């Protein structure tokens, strides 16, 4: 197969190594609360995130999956919706929650190493009593 550019090949290579399919939807649980989440596991999906969305359906969000635990940052460039990001460790425990404003370039970093970030409507975690220390269940277990 011929590639138009090295960048296209690199994006394909990075994306093809992931066992989680692009545009996959999973069901998560935060206590008794059900969450429907799109998975953003490939670098290009994580970079795009929820940009350009006009709204989120109730109890829907996006789960960013990273290849390994680390200190990651989220921002809101070109994102129209106010969101809250829950930073989750490898076991799904929320270690931090950041409320983020539309179009902001402010970086919101995890305080501890995390493997996942769950973005929801800006008030979702607060309204559902989901806070630091809550465990999110149903996370994909292996993403390399």
Q: What share of the chain has pLDDT > 90, as a percent? A: 80
Q: What is the CATH number of the domain that holds 41?
A: 2.60.120.1140
Q: Where are the alpha helices (DSSP H) in the chain?
A: 6-16, 43-48, 124-127
- 122 in any annotated domain: yes
What long-range pairs does 9-18 form, CB within 8 A, spacing at least 24?
11/42, 11/43, 11/44, 14/42, 14/43, 14/44, 15/42, 15/43, 15/44, 15/45, 17/144, 18/42, 18/143, 18/144
pLDDT tens profile 14-53: 443 334 444 699 999 999 999 999 999 999 999 999 998 9
Q: What is the DSSP letter of 58?
A: T
The C-alpha atoms of residue 139 and residue 137 are separated, in whole angstroms, by 6
pLDDT tens profile 95-106: 999 999 999 999
- 13 in any annotated domain: no
- 9 in any annotated domain: no
- 144 in any annotated domain: no
What are the beta bridge partners of residue 96? 87
Instruction: Indicate the range of 2-11, 93-102, 133-142 predicted with least confidence.
Output: 2-11
With b for 16 or more beta-carbon neighbours within 10 A and e for fewer, the 82-102 pattern comes to ebbbbbbbeebbbebbbebee
68: containing domain: 20-137
Number of domains composing the chain: 1
Would you place residue 141 in the very low, low, confident or very high pLDDT band (cuts 50, 70, 90)?
A: confident
């Amino acid at each position: 197969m011929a590639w138009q550019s090295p960048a296209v090949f690199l994006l394909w290579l990075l994306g093809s190594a992931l066992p989680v399919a692009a545009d996959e939807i999973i069901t998560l649980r935060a206590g008794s609360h059900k969450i429907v989440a799109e998975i953003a596991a490939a670098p290009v999906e994580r970079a795009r995130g929820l940009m350009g969305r006009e709204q989120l359906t109730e109890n829907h969000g996006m789960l960013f999956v990273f290849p390994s635990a680390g200190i990651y940052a989220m921002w809101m460039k070109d994102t129209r919706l106010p969101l809250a990001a829950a930073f989750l460790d490898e076991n799904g425990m929320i270690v931090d929650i950041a409320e983020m404003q539309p179009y902001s370039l402010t970086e919101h970093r995890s305080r501890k190493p995390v493997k996942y970030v769950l973005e929801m409507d800006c008030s979702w975690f607060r309204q559902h009593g989901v806070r630091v220390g809550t465990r999110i269940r149903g996370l994909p277990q292996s993403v390399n």
